Structure 1
Amino acid sequence: MNPDRFTTIAQQTLATAQGDASTRGNPEVDGLHILSALLAERGGPVWSILEKSGADPDQIAGVVASELDRLPRTSSGAGSGGRSLLEIMNKADAEAKALGDRYISTEHLLLALSRVDGQAKEVLTTFGIQHPVVMQSIEQLRAASGVSHMTDQNSETQYEALKKYAIDLTEKAQQGKLDPVIGRDEEIRRCMQVLSRRTKNNPVLIGEPGVGKTAIAEGLALRIVSGDCPDGMRDKRILALDVGLLLAGAKYRGEFEERLKAVLREVTASDGGIILFIDELHTVIGAGAAEGAVSAGNLLKPALARGELRCIGATTLDEYRKHIEKDPAFERRFQPIFIDQPSVEETVAILR
């Protein structure tokens, strides 16, 4: 089978499985080697699918490791492809075609493992992971990520982009990992007021470095979790977008653009349930722009204009004037909220 039919992650998975079989001295690559390689991609699509299916990937990985230790070993011809591997690959190909996908991904490998008789299928069945369950979880994952088909070799990287490139402040607030915000009641109230408006409902917090702009976003998350907010905001999630992570490792033209598009698809799919917090908003204006590439700012504008994206920005006054005010299409989507330094009394309360 042509390796180019597989997504980049699926190719890496098969290479890892073959390397594992060779290192262990197993005569052939087995479904267990593939399942082990799939589970090694912590936080990857298969990990999410198993969690959505109600299983603990760590527990499955432990059982797989024990089963791998029991496989027969040989001193020659180790790690070669065999009938089992060929059957799994053919079944994965059939699964991809059934879903209308151009490329075979790790999802299809997992679906194949849940169907091809062998130890991998037995392990999955033990944890309640059967073909219909996997298929349902894949559909949920695709719907949440706005991915309908595997159209290119990097389609899998678009799954759960928010989990990779953003921090859920409301989740941190629920877990008690955010410090209480002191003396910013008026700014938080104003922020909620702007977010509740019909138009120009994206606040941008403007203040000098260190005055506590990020703390206001955290304070808003704390208010939402405690229920101390307007009814229309009770079920919202505040996610802090990390532009640095979006840019990190994006070597090829269009790679950053695809990552940001994946983030925006998930935000859109939430139907208003997610509010993005973008610190250093001015850096977004030209982020990712290269020869022939589209900047993050130009990708955000249409989503903001259609009301599909609700966000809170943060920047300094100088940077706001230098970058955002000079871009009218971007500037008119935001409502400035000026943040002053805390008073002496507030500073003392914070220090306590």
Structure 2
Amino acid sequence: MNIEKFTIKSQEVITTAQNIALGKQQQQIENAHILKAIFEVDKDIVPYLLKKNNINTSMLAQVVDKMVDNLPKVSGGSGIYLSNASNQALQKALGSLSEFKDDYVSIEHLLLGILSTNDNTAQLLKDNGLTEKGLKQAILELRKGGHANSPHAEESYNALNRYARNLNDLAQKDKLDPVIGREDEIRRVLQILSRRTKNNPILIGEPGVGKTAIAEGLAHRIVSGDVPENLKSKQVFSLDMGALVAGAKYKGEFEERLKSVIKEVTVSDGEVILFIDE
């Protein structure tokens, strides 16, 4: 098994699974160890995939914890190794690369590999309603046409929702403050956005004067339908630079995240308005 064919996060999952088994004095790395490691390493992708299949991630994680605790313990053993089931899962994950036209095994491949086996962990996923067809469909929805073509592939999935705030959603949920006294600026932004070309407004001003409030006011106007017809379907996202930088510890990871955000905005075919704060 070529570990270099795995993404950074997938490698981290394998290492974490090994450490979990060692910490509990268990000689074999089972699929339960790998699934537990996935829950520990990943907080975005697998919860998204499971939610799409109507599975409660936290409850499933608790059952997996108990499964790991109940696995046989060995004292004084000579090393640690993959069980037949976990080896099959990793081989299946590698084998699924061609189907998705990927270059690297990412976390969703690992989940798909576990599901394809016949051990207790795979049965647990199936008993909770996870099917291969449902999982593959959720993966395609998550990726939005993207592929795992870099060691940081997971950072590019669902990028807008991970690294930006959907101001339309916040406005609908009444979580944005009302905007007062900025009608002229909002109207001018609407005029610029309605152009066919040269339609990228720039808001210039000192910090705190209300540039973000104008973007929020725009979202309010779109939600209430008080905008030109060509803007009524638009979604306003505010890029969260803190989230974009947070946890980017590997070389090229920040750039990968930023490129994925730009790609999602581009493929939206003009349906996304991205507000970039200073």
TM-score, with length taken from structure 1: 0.72
Cα pair 2:25 2:73 within 8 Å, conserved: yes
Aligned residue identity for 2:20: D
**Which residue pairs with 2:5 in the alignment?**
5
Q: Secondary structure at the match of 1:204?
A: coil
What per-residue deviation string (whole Å, max 9, x for no partner) do you get for residues 214-266 of structure 1?
Answer: 11111111222222222322222111113354345656664443222111111
CA separation of 1:14 and 1:129: change in aligned 2, threshold 3 A: same
Q: Determine if contact 1:27/1:80 at 8 Å carries over to the other structure.
A: yes
Q: Kindly tell me: are residues 254 and 89 of structure 1, through their superposed partners in 2, closer, same or farther at Cα, counting changes over 3 Å? A: closer
Match of 1:195 in 2: 193
Correspondence 1:1-352 to 2 at 5 A = 1-77=1-77, 79-143=80-144, 146-147=145-146, 149-247=147-245, 254-280=252-278
State the 1:133 CA deviation: 1.0
How far apart, in 2, do the equivalents of 1:55 and 1:271 lie? 32
Structure 1 letter corresponding to 2:151:
Q
Q: 1:16 deviation in Å?
A: 0.8
Secondary structure in structure 1 of the residue aligned to 2:237: strand
Question: What is the total number of aligned residue pairs between the two structures?
Answer: 277
What secondary structure is seen at the aligned counterpart in 2 of 1:180?
coil
Residue identity matched to 1:99: F
Query: Which amino acid in structure 2 is aligned with residue 236 of structure 1?
Result: K
| TM superposition score normalised by structure 2 | 0.90
Matched residue of 1:170: which SS?
Answer: helix
Cα distance in 1, alignment partners of residues 84 and 244 from structure 2: 41
Deviation at 1:30, TM superposition (A): 1.0
Instruction: Name the CA distance, whole Å, in 1 between partners of 2:108 and 2:24.
Output: 25
The verdict on how the C-alpha distance between 1:126 and 1:41 changes in structure 2, with shifts beyond 3 A counting, is same
Which has the higher Rg, Structure 1 or Structure 2? 1
1:89-144 C-alpha deviation (Å, 9 max, x unpaired): 1111111233332222211111111110011111211221111111111112222x
Mapped partners of 1:91, 1:250: distance in 2: 29
Q: 1:164 to 1:176 in 2, by over 3 A?
A: same
2:36–2:61 contact (8 Å) kept in structure 1: yes
User: Shift of the alpha carbon at 1:66?
Assistant: 2.6
Q: Contact 1:168 / 1:238 at 8 angstroms: preserved in 2?
A: yes
The answer on whether the counterparts of 2:45 and 2:108 sit within 8 Å (CA) in structure 1 is yes
Residue 79 (structure 1) shift:
4.8
Mapped partners of 1:27, 1:249: distance in 2: 32
Q: Is the 8 A contact 1:53 1:134 kept in 2?
A: yes
SS in 2 for 1:201: coil
1:221 aligned partner, one-letter code: A
Cα root mean square deviation, aligned:
2.1
Amino acid of the residue matched to residue 240 of structure 1? S
User: In the alignment, residue 44 of structure 1 is paired with which amino acid?
Assistant: D
SS of 2:202's equivalent? strand
Distance in 1 separating the partners of 2:91 and 2:227: 54
Give the residue type in structure 2 aligned to 1:217. Answer: A
Deviations 1:298-331 (A, max 9, x none): xxxxxxxxxxxxxxxxxxxxxxxxxxxxxxxxxx
In the TM superposition, what whole-angstrom CA distance separates every residue of 1:248-299 from its partner, at most 9, and x where no partner exists? Answer: 565666444322211111112222221100112xxxxxxxxxxxxxxxxxxx
> Does the 8 Å CA contact 2:86/2:114 hold for their aligned counterparts?
no
Give ranges in structure 1 of 5+ residues lacking alignment: 281-352
Relative to structure 1, the CA distance from residue 251 to residue 15 in structure 2 (aligned partners, 3 Å threshold; closer, same or farther) is closer
Q: Give the 3-state SS of the residue equivalent to 2:274 in structure 1.
A: strand
Give the Cα–Cα distance (whole angstroms) in 1 for the partners of residues 170 and 254 of structure 2.
27
